[in-house]
Amino acid sequence: MSTAGSTRAILAALAANAGIAAAKFVGYLITGSSSMLAESVHSVADTANQGLLLWGQRQARREADRLHPFGYGRSRYFYSFVVALVLFTLGSVFALYEGYHKISHPEPITSAPVAIAILVVAIGLESFSFRTAIVESRPLKGSSGWWRFIRTSRSPELPVVLLEDAGALIGLIFALTGVGLTVLTGNAVWDGIGTIGIGALLGVIAVILMVEMHSLLIGEGATAEQQHAIWEALEGTRHVDRVIHLRTQYLGPDEMLVGAKIALPPDCELATVAQVIDDAEARIREAVPAARVIYLEPDLDRALTK
């Protein structure tokens, strides 16, 4: 899993969202559109989120110490979870409140062409950021679908950026629709409805992210494909009769812990046992490069010794 690839996607999103946030806020000051204000806060939240993701990557690079002997790799999961909370609190709740306020107290939009122009430019910039995230994610995604990639990826940043950018694009379409219908009908309630749509969308994305990051935080194991590859590597090692049990857990996006009990013949000498363990570890690392911390326990096949 490429940390460099996820960093490029984060930086592209950071640059796009910072510029978009400033443009949207200026647009809100000129037009008074609640959709523009909700989108401004959304972009500010996204910009802060990208900063948090970069900080999480920095924290994850800290060396292991006595208190954290397996390192700080899960810092990336923690800060991605914080991103989901920020998206919900700053983006979703604020947009829902603004939408309700706009529907309850409709106010006309001034300088609508300015708002539309800013939203169209923002769609272009968000499309660039979204494309970057897709390009960087495709090698990790492989032949699986995008939803499966988001659900199974152990690298948190790319799914976060993908969902954020997708949400930003759909949110911009909601805002553009709300402003457009307000101009066409002369009814400012449509602007509030567009804002409510943005808030609901951000809430759904935030919940999805929180569920996925919570799962990673408490510890996810290898994928089914990786589990099968590790099992085959162990059973393909000379002198290994069978795998008694296998446990895996990701210590971070790029580091997996593997623990297994393997059955060896009862007449194996100590030197042979040591060689079998070395060979098995090498085969596992060749099959699954992320498997960096490996503990193998040799045992007798009790079913055969009875």
DSSP single-letter state for residue 250: E
> How much of the chain, in percent, has pLDDT values that exceed 90?
23
Q: How confident is the model at residue 110 (pLDDT cuts 50, 70, 90)?
A: confident
Q: Which tens digits make up the pLDDT trace of 135-162? A: 878 887 777 788 888 888 887 878 888 8
In which domain, by residue range, is 256 found? 224-305
Domain with residue 286: its CATH number is 3.30.70.1350
The total of structural domains in the chain comes to 2
Same domain, 262 and 207: no
Same domain, 245 and 283: yes
Instruction: Give pLDDT, residue 1.
Output: 44
Taking the C-alpha atoms of residue 246 and residue 34, their distance in angstroms, rounded to an integer, is: 54
Q: Supply φ then ψ for residue 257, to 5 degrees.
A: -95, 130
Same domain, 130 and 38: yes
Same domain, 17 and 149: yes
Same domain, 237 and 154: no
The least confident of 34-38, 55-59, 100-104 is 34-38
Q: Which tens digits make up the pLDDT trace of 3-49? A: 666 777 788 778 877 887 888 788 788 877 777 777 787 778 778 87
| Domain C-terminal end among 218, 248, 271 | 218
- Burial of 47 from C-beta contacts in 10 A (0-12 / 13-18 / 19+): buried
DSSP single-letter state for residue 251: E
Would you say residue 230 has pLDDT above 90?
A: yes
Same domain, 206 and 63: yes
Domain with residue 88: its CATH number is 1.20.1510.10
Same domain, 230 and 173: no
Same domain, 85 and 11: yes
Same domain, 15 and 158: yes
Would you say residue 306 has pLDDT above 70?
A: no
Same domain, 107 and 254: no
Instruction: Give pLDDT, residue 102.
Output: 82
Taking the C-alpha atoms of residue 263 and residue 241, their distance in angstroms, rounded to an integer, is: 5
Q: Which residues lie across from 291 on neighbouring strands?
A: 256
Taking the C-alpha atoms of residue 206 and residue 89, their distance in angstroms, rounded to an integer, is: 9
Same domain, 211 and 70: yes
Same domain, 109 and 250: no
Sign of CA dihedral 5, 205, 222, 247: positive
| Domain C-terminal end among 183, 218, 253 | 218
Instruction: Give pLDDT, residue 95.
Output: 82
| Domain C-terminal end among 167, 201, 218 | 218
Spatial contact of 71 and 62, defined as CB atoms under 8 Å apart: yes
